[in-house]
């Protein structure tokens, strides 16, 4: 017997009745609680496929056995008995069940069907993508960033200066740390068109898909957690550096994808490939930032600390915040661990800013 046929014999067709009721309802088109013999013939042929080439007489025998009261129809109880007790029907319908489960989102709380230990519902995460509600949060954030940049461009007649009214008010300035909003609002300030364009493209390409699965409020929370972590980490490790741009938030979105891969590994169809892509992106860009920061003599050096801190924040907050389609015991512990680490790190950075003012450049009031 082939491996494929062996798989059919291992399908647990004596699963809970609710699982079979879902399948039964697919055949009961008029919802009258019964299916006709002709409909059953069609179902069994569809499930069997070309590989079985079941003769019509065999199908008629199966239908006759299923129709206990001989009324020409099969109700749910007869259908259930057929699926659980008739070995011929068991094999014929196995292929159809495989296809149905694979292409249908299994309702949460219902068991997943397996064949020989292989999960038949891989790709559940991809099925969660939805445009209802519409993914607008990252689009709105991006429009605000464009608006702020455009205002300074109109005022200064230049796209490369950060001396405009918006930039000077919102940029993270180490000499004006008492203006606490700057720890967040520096994300709205960008140094030139290239800086703005790159951030917009990346955050839209990464943020919108996250919103479609995890909803906007979770993505915004992760984005801002990366922004705050970026400014606080920079203030502690590189206290004289100015900060502009949304790179902390962008990096948080990158590692948020890694977080959702970790907690939804079994539910994602191409998890390993996505993990490799995002891992390479982070390593390459972080390496470039460090190289530019320490080995290239340029005026506008990239704040690599903000990148790294944003990435760590996105991973920690993402694991705790993003939707987990199938929560396992160890994942609950991981979520709380990530939450505690993030809170301790942010709290420590805030306390450092408050307790050791002499560590930082002189304040301008």
> DSSP state, 116?
T
Active site residue 307: yes
How far lies 231's CA from each of 39, 177, 294, 303, in Å?
A: 65, 11, 19, 10
Given a contact cutoff of 8 angstroms between Cβ atoms, the answer to whether 348 and 289 are in contact is no
Cα gap 323→124, rounded to integer Å? 12
Single out the catalytic residue among 214, 247, 257, 289. 247
What is the Cβ-side half-sphere exposure of residue 89, based on CA atoms within 13 angstroms?
Answer: 23
> DSSP state, 188?
G
| Residue 42 structure tokens | 């069609």
Angle separating helix axes 247-263 and 216-237, nearest 10 degrees: 120
Q: Is 237 exposed, middle or buried (0-12, 13-18, 19+ CB in 10 A)?
A: middle
Neighbours of 23 (CB within 10 A): 19
Residue whose C-alpha is closest to residue 234's, from 283, 312, 184, 304 = 304
Given a contact cutoff of 8 angstroms between Cβ atoms, the answer to whether 242 and 361 are in contact is no
Helix (H), strand (E) at residue 34:
strand 34-36
Cα gap 98→112, rounded to integer Å? 11
Q: What is the DSSP string of 229-273?
A: HHHHHHHHHSTT--B-SSHHHHHHHHHHHHHHHHHTGGG-TTHHH
Active site residue 36: no
Residue whose C-alpha is closest to residue 243's, from 176, 297, 288 = 176
C-alpha of 51 from chain center:
38
Cα gap 221→211, rounded to integer Å? 11
Our CA angle for 240, 246, 250, nearest 5°, is 120
| For residue 184, cis peptide bond before it (omega within 30 degrees of 0) | no
Catalytic residues, by residue number, are: 247, 307
């Amino acid at each position: 017997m082939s491996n494929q046929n062996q798989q059919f014999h291992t399908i647990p067709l004596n699963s809970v009745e609710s699982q079979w009721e879902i399948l039964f309802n697919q055949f009961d088109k008029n919802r009258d609680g019964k299916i006709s013999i002709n409909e059953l013939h069609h179902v069994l042929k569809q499930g069997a496929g070309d590989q079985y080439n079941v003769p019509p007489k065999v199908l008629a025998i199966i239908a006759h056995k299923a129709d206990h009261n001989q009324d020409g129809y099969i109700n749910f109880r007869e259908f259930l008995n057929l699926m659980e007790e008739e070995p011929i029907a068991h094999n014929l319908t196995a292929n159809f069940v495989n296809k149905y489960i694979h292409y249908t989102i299994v309702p949460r709380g219902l068991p997943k069907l397996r064949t020989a230990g292989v999960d038949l519902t891989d790709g559940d995460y991809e099925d969660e993508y939805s445009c209802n509600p519409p993914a607008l949060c990252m689009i709105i954030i991006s429009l605000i960033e464009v608006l702020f940049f455009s205002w300074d461009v109109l005022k200064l007649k230049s796209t490369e200066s950060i001396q405009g009214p918006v930039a000077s008010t919102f940029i993270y300035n180490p000499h004006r740390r008492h203006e606490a909003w700057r720890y967040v609002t520096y994300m709205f300030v960008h140094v030139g068109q290239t800086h703005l364009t790159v951030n917009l493209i990346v955050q839209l390409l990464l943020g919108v898909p996250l919103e479609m699965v995890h909803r906007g409020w979770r993505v915004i929370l992760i984005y801002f957690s990366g922004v705050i972590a970026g400014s606080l980490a920079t203030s502690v490790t590189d206290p004289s550096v100015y900060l502009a741009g949304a790179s902390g938030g962008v990096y948080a979105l990158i590692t948020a994808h890694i977080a959702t891969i970790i907690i939804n590994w079994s539910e994602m169809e191409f998890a390993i490939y996505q993990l490799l892509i995002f891992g390479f992106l982070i390593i390459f860009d972080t390496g470039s930032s460090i190289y530019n920061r320490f080995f290239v003599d340029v005026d506008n050096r990239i704040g690599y600390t903000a990148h790294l801190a944003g990435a760590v924040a996105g991973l920690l907050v993402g694991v705790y915040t993003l939707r987990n389609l199938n929560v396992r015991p160890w994942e609950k512990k991981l979520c709380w661990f990530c939450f505690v680490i993030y809170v301790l790190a942010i709290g420590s950075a805030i306390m450092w800013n408050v307790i050791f003012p002499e560590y930082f450049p002189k304040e301008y009031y």
